[in-house]
Structure 1
Amino acid sequence: MARNNYSVGLVLIGIAVILLLGKLGVFSFLGGLLWPVFILLPGVVFHFLYFSRVLPAGVLVPGGILVTYSLMFFFCNIFGWGAMSYLWPGFIFGVAVGLYELHLFDRHSGKGVLTAAMILAAISAVFFALAFMFTAGIYFIIFVLLVAGVGLIMTRKRGW
């Protein structure tokens, strides 16, 4: 009987600690920060099931998409959701990653899969460059002007 009381006491203490952590907001903080894990896990499971020879190579497409998207969401959770203003082409890039994985690991996929992956990756790269130029482009222009100015000063002869 004493052993049973000890176990029940441990369970009650555990429940109290969980309730206290919930009341202090620990779980809402972790849930708000780590929710992309619920997107990452299915992507990793798809990859695991393919490499375990359980599912065909077609599952690599959603697996690559989900892993890429979850990495973007982790980045935004850490550095702020304003980063999505220049990360949005990653949604196109995620599809390119999934198609490229399919091409890489399925020997029966045609060249069309690789072509589609490369076209989507190129479109994504162009949109990344445009998004960068519109959001942080002024800093790039400042850097180029500074380098050009320093280059002109350093290469000019000392005579005024």
Structure 2
Amino acid sequence: MSLLVLGLLFIFETAAGWNYAGSTWPVYLLAAAFGLFELWLFGGRERGLLIPICVLSAVGGFFFAEHFLSFRGSFWPLAAIIIGLYYVFRKTNLEKPEE
């Protein structure tokens, strides 16, 4: 199915003369996420596969939003710094397992 998504994208890009390639490049990330989601759905539902699915979907969606909502490069570095600081300073609950 991810090949179908990429095929439709290539048909669109060829018909449009590749004028929108700068706007539609996140579809490549979303197609990979969609293919991995299909593998998870029909494969065995391994939980570890959900991590790259979520990461690829979030990154692709973020860059689509950045392009179409005109953040234009000033928003995502600040968001990355805030997320990084959250992970550095968050409190983790590391308890000893009972023996």
The TM tier, using the shorter chain, reads 0.5 to 0.7
Residue type of the alignment partner of 1:105: F
Offset of 1:78 from its aligned partner? Answer: 2.3
Q: Are residues 1:71 and 2:8 paired?
A: yes
In structure 2, give the amino acid aligned to 1:130: E
1:102 aligns with 2:39: yes
Shift of 1:88: 0.3
Q: Percent identity?
A: 33
Match of 2:55 among 111, 119, 122: 119
Bigger RCO (CA 8 Å, 6+ sep): 2
| Structure 2 counterpart of 1:35 | none
- In the TM superposition, 1:30-45 aligns within 5 A as none
Q: Partner letter of residue 119 of structure 1?
A: V
**Aligned counterpart, 2:67:** 131
- What code does the residue aligned with 1:117 have? I
Q: Does 2:43 match 1:87?
A: no
Runs of 4+ in 1 over 4 A off after TM superposition: none
Q: CA deviation at 1:93?
A: 0.8
Q: TM-score, normalised by structure 2?
A: 0.62
Structure 2 stretches lacking a partner, 5+ long: 71-99
Residue correspondence of structure 1 range 5-84 to structure 2 within 5 A: 64-84=1-21
Aligned length: 70
Distance 2:61 2:28 in 1: 11
Partner Cα distance (1:70, 1:132) in 2: 23
More helix by share: 1
